[in-house]
Amino acid sequence: MLTPHAENAPSPGQPAGTTPAPAAPPGHRGRRWLKWVAVALGALVVVAAGGLGGAEYYTSRPQFCGTCHVMEPYYRSWSRDLHGAKLGTRCVDCHYAPGEHHTIMAKFKGLSQVASYFTGRYGTARPRAHVRDAACNTPACHGDNAHLTKSLPIGVPRVEKRLIGGQETEVKRSPTVQFVHEKHLRVDDKLTASESQFHDLETQLQEASGAVYESIRAATRSVKPAAQRERDMRTLLQQADLEALLPDALELMRLEHLLTRLRQLAGINCAACHSYDASGTRHFMKPNLQTCFTCHFNNQAFNRDTGACLRCHEPPTRKILVHDELVDVAFRTAGTEPGRYGPPSASAPTTTTQPALMDHRDIVARGIDCASCHLDVVQGEASVTLRDCTHCHDQEQYLKDFETRDTQTVADYHRVHVAAQRAACLDCHRTIQHHLIDPLHVATSADYLRPVLNDCQHCHPDHHAEQVKLLMGIGGAGVARSMPNAMFGSRINCSACHILSATDLKGAELVKATESTCVACHGHDYERLFQQWQSEISTYLDEARTTLSRVEQRAAELQARGSEVPREVQETINLARTNIQFMQAGNGIHNKNYALALLDVTIRDLDAAMARLTTP
């Protein structure tokens, strides 16, 4: 049994009289380990933070981007570009939005690129690095907006060859287009004014057209070529007997398309014009002029609205040589009758015309349309086809509205593809060429006339208007309702009947209609029926002409005796002339039923007029 002092007894080997050291309190040893762990963790955090900071610095340098072989062309072009070679702009300064660089989201973007590379997915899709406008407009870059008002020449001075006096001559040309960012980026005031003008005209047209307004409004949203849109609107108003509203309807259509383009400009981004230069000579290419051409010329009449020449071009200040010195020989031969011409005689007088110089500024001041000389400068259409859409989309939900698209649909397409996905114009649109034909070529070939020669409507507007109206059962006076040809709704077009080669009075080739096409579809009975129709129309037309002649003769007799021809009779005579001319020009065979009805009404009204003129 231990005594109370036994626990203080010296341990074996301990000198007598000494007190043993007290034992460590419980838990002290654990706290010591915790302190060492905390110190180690702190050091680890410091090292990790330093490592992360170093990694952040290293991976933010363009040289790090260039270590990946798939980035070599981009790094090489950056090193040659103004941004890299002189300004020292880093990749992350542009490819991350301001404030995004040090965020977790930015790190995940970088890791996703690494994952794409190691999984083999990188390069399988179309590469497109998005650069937000905010990255361009930081205070250190373009945030001062000095670029907005700066006038930038489009193109470079060049030397072109012309034939002058039969000799090739070099002529210096300077750019005539000055681009100003402000005109394209600050469009809010113009947009507001155009919207106000549109709504005022819309209200006015809605009140004047009544129930037809919805059809007019749908026609204004059409995205067909400008000439086709105007023809469709004209036909619509003719059918509704509202031709007086045509100027307002066309103006509403013009404003609708102008607003569409202005809204696209309001949402345009820097990358729409400034994209990567795949040539490697610089990182950003000079603005792709196809962007300009697509916006200015697509579905636009020449030298109208956004395609107006003087909207971008300044008239050249240098005078242009139109032709060199000319010698004009009088070909009237001595001794011939007045007005008769023959080979020049030795004594025939000659006159010399001095070289002709033309000043564009004078031409503009006179209001001469640029199309007179430059209709060839816009070639092609920036159209989009359904096949272009299927390059990216293979599901019906994305394609179902394409064939019936209008300005609203196009606005939605641009919002999704351009504003949200930074699509470039040429990703969807075909190219438009905008340049002068080689002056030497113009002097030796008529190809520069091809745009006009290929456009019959240019010289012959509504050339077949009477035939078209007859097919639709409209255009005459006196028939209360339209009477379309039975075949008009079956999609039969002109080429179905006009298959017979023939010549006109000048010997030029044309294609005539023939009854054989009726027989081919309907059988031989229609050969006799076709001849019968022609005979009926000819008989009615001859009777109408004869009746009109009698009424006109009677009216002339009354006027010769001093009698007054009633106003209603004179109106009947005028309408009869119009109907007969309409039938002669359009050929009633295009719509036999409507032709006979119109001629029958004409003959009836003329008979009534004749009765009135012969009544004492």
- pLDDT tens-digit profile of 398-454? 888 898 999 999 999 998 888 788 888 888 999 998 887 766 555 556 666 676 666
What's the rounded Cα separation, in Å, for the pair 379 and 609?
A: 56
Ramachandran assignment for 88, one of left (phi > 0), alpha (psi -120 to 50 degrees), beta (any other): left
pLDDT tens figures, 542-551 = 999 999 999 9
The CATH number of 45-136 is 1.10.3820.10
For the cut 50, the answer to whether the pLDDT of residue 3 exceeds it is no
Which pLDDT score, from 0 to 100, does residue 26 have? 56
**Does residue 422 contact residue 275 with C-beta atoms inside 8 Å?**
no
Encoded tokens for 582: 């309409």
CA dihedral 393, 394, 399, 403 (to 10 degrees): 100
What's the rounded Cα separation, in Å, for the pair 367 and 376?
A: 19
Domain segments of the chain as ranges: 45-136, 465-614
Q: How many CB atoms lie within 10 A of CB 228?
A: 12
State the pLDDT confidence band at 89, using cuts at 50, 70 and 90: confident
SS3 214: helix
Burial class (CB in 10 A: 0-12, 13-18, 19+), 456: exposed
DSSP 447: G
DSSP 225: -
Which residues have a Cβ under 8 Å from the Cβ of 295 and sit 6 or more positions away?
261, 264, 265, 306, 425
What's the rounded Cα separation, in Å, for the pair 434 and 382?
A: 12
**Identity of the amino acid at 215:** S
Burial class (CB in 10 A: 0-12, 13-18, 19+), 124: exposed
SS3 466: helix
pLDDT tens figures, 248-296 = 999 999 999 999 999 888 878 888 888 777 777 777 767 788 888 998 9
For the cut 70, the answer to whether the pLDDT of residue 164 exceeds it is no
